[in-house]
Chain A
Amino acid sequence: MLPPESTKEDMEAMRISLGFDKPLYVQYWKFFSNAIQGDFGMSIRWQRPCMELFLERFPNTLLLGITSMIWALFMGLTVGILSAVYHGRWFDSFGKIIALVGQALPVFWLGLMLMVLFAEWLGWLPTSGIGTWQQLILPSLTLGAVFAAAITRLTRSTMLDVMDSEYIKMARTLGIPERIVVIKQGFKNAAIPVLTLAALNFIVLINGTVITESIFNWPGIGRLSVEAIFARDYPVVQTIVLIASSLFVFMNLLVDVLYAFIDPRIRYD
């Protein structure tokens, strides 16, 4: 951080300005109290406050994450519900294969293959970058794939459980149209585990952004963390890890609260 020809006094001044002359617990307390107030210190590489860097990149990751979540939920729920409704038929097998392959796909490889296929060979979509909606398609498909597979699998199995229950038979006996039985009686009861999965997959999503963003040159948190790791920029890495873990804990809390809204049985307990 200092030029090699700097004097001993310069180094000492630097040490004092960074607070290294204080004992460890004082340093830790200073870091901790600043962090709670949103000040994570300065980035070594970019020479800017870490929080500023994080906030600058965060909207991009949010955009990518939400887009992937939306399509993954849409795809996962549709295929999952239809697989359960057509249990044992060809669509079910199709859904099962999609779910199994999707969960075994290495994200980095899927991203590269999609890039070759749609950007290089077919030329339909741009390879990387950010700005237009076309540039959002490939990264969000890549990021959402694993997630979509997990949702498909879980939706299918919970729907199968639910559709086998007495109240579904009851609803059918009453002559309620099958379409409404599936959506209102069936899916509403199957939604809880799927919701939990959606929230718990937040961690998977963060792991995915690290890879996806570095493949598609998407200027988000994931690429920021890779850049920071390679530059040994620990304040930035620290910031990202701390915020990501806190978000995860917060998401878990949110799910617990949401449960009570969705399922009255939990509220009344």
Chain B
Amino acid sequence: MGRAERKYGIIVAPLPAGTAASKEYSLTELMVIAGAREIADGEMVLVGMRLAMLAYLVAKRTHAPNAIGLYDNGIIRTAATTEPLYTVGDPANIGGATQCGQTLDVMGYLQQGRVQVGFVGAAEVDRCGNVNALWGSNGSEAHRLPGAGGGCDIACLAQRSVVMIAHDRNRLRERVGHITSPGYGSGNGWREAHRLPARTGPSAIITDLGVMRFGSDGEAFLASIHPGVQVEQVLAATGWSLRVADALLDTSPPSATELEALRSADPNHFWTR
């Protein structure tokens, strides 16, 4: 199944009663909103770049107002920014911060095990949640990618790590060629054998088609599917034979509040379309 057959289109969601929010949303928007739902209220979050910045802002403005955001540059925020962000170093992310520390301060909290959830940037992810952010492939050609950033640190040390990625069989692979940020390696027991701290590891891969979670064997399975998406479509867009949960859930469509929070965080649709 090639790129042309992927379903990206605008779909119509039920309009919550009494709201005037847009009833249309894109599956990319739903991906970010599903990412936000991975953050529980009061948790410490190592935010990361790009879509993760938006997911954190949506969580803060909806169900997780007491979440604490930590950023690689040393910034710690208990109050969400009110302006759209392009990078975590934007002046708007620093004005009104709780603390402007150093990278090591934030990474120290992460290594102590205080950070419940972090987002990991990925060019490719595999069936055991291992992430490649270093070498992409396009057929026989290898392409050098920007690198790990803080993603590897989060994947090693956060209690739960979350990957958001467009669902494409060239990006959701059987096995990544380079493990930049470790997931469950080759399966159950691998993290322990590789001396990664206990009670850490990937908890979800969220795409524009659905949400995958991990079994006790360390392999991802399809846990929920976005509105309007068919299971066959997800399977065809996945680079391995993806298991499907017995009790497959439907991803809740964005609430009006979630959608409004996302669009106010990205009003020019720089990150989401």
Partners in one complex: no
User: What is the interface of chain A, defined by CB distance below 8 A to chain B?
Assistant: none
